[in-house]
Amino acid sequence: MQLTWLWRGLRTGVLTTRYPRRPERMPDGWRGTAVLQRDQCVVEGAPPSCVTVCLPRALSVEETGGDRRLRLDHAACIACGLCVAACPRGALSISNEFELAASSRARLISEHRPKGDRAA
């Protein structure tokens, strides 16, 4: 009996990923996280339609001195993809990127940059 199991185990061969030594990728359609095309977004509507469909409130509008910016928090995004369809300008998409971990929240935030804004 034990031998049968051993035989099955050996026959399976090596399946193990070599990550991180060899790069890996997730399938094309896999939803990793939302991606904001920073210069496409116009922050239209109050709130914008993408913000209303986002269940975990990963999308929000930051208002500082009359300047409205869309903020995307990748740490909150559940990659449901609903904002992609909601955006009339195609500013949001879903990527299959999987190397998403970060050591600080700040690194997980994308902020849209209005056109002509040259401040980093």
Residue numbers at the binding site for ligand SF4 (CB under 6 A)? 34, 53-54, 56, 58-59, 72, 77-83
By C-beta, is 92 or 108 nearer to other proteins? Answer: 108
Residue type, 42: V
First to last CA, the chain: 66
Interaction site with other proteins (CB under 8 A): 1, 4-6, 8-9, 12, 15-17, 19-20, 24, 26-27, 29-33, 53, 55-58, 73-82, 94, 97-110
Q: Which option in other proteins, ligand SF4, none does residue 99 bind, with CB closer than 5 to 8 A by kind?
A: other proteins
Q: Which option in other proteins, ligand SF4, none does residue 34 bind, with CB closer than 5 to 8 A by kind?
A: ligand SF4
Closest approach of Cβ 42 to other proteins, in Å? 20
By C-beta, is 20 or 65 nearer to other proteins? Answer: 20
Residue type, 16: T
- Beta-bridge partner residues of 63: 68
- Report how far Cα 37 is from the mean position of its chain's Cα atoms: 12
Closest approach of Cβ 65 to ligand SF4, in Å? 25
> How far is it, in rounded angstroms, from Cα 74 to Cα 76?
5
Q: Which of 31, 10, 39, 16 is nearest to 84 (CA)?
A: 31
What radius of gyration do the chain's Cα atoms show? 21
